[in-house]
Structure 1
Amino acid sequence: MSDLLASYNLKFLAQGLWTTLYLSVIIIILSTIFGMFLAVMRNGKNPILRIIASIYIEFVRNVPNLLWIFIVFLVFQLQATPAGITAFTIFTSAALAEIIRGGLNAIDRGQTEAGLSQGLTNFQVLRIIILPQAIRKMLPSIISQFVTVVKDTSFLYSVIALQDLFGKSQILMGKYFEINQIFLLYAIVTATYFLVNFSISSYSRHLAKKWEQAAE
Structure 2
Amino acid sequence: MARPLSQRAPVMVLILIVGLTLAAALVVNAFVRDQQRSRFEREAAVYTQALQDRVSVYERLLGTMRAAWVAQGPLQTEASFSRFVDGLDLASRYPGLQAVGYGQSVAASATDRLERELRQTVTPDFRVREAGAPQAERVVISLIAPPNAQNISTLGFDMNSEPLRAQGSVPRGPVTACRRPTCCLSRSGTRPASP
Which bin holds the TM-score, normalised by the shorter protein?
Answer: 0.3 to 0.5
- Select the structure that is richer in strand: 2
With structure 1 as the length reference, what TM-score do the two structures score? 0.30
With structure 2 as the length reference, what TM-score do the two structures score? 0.32
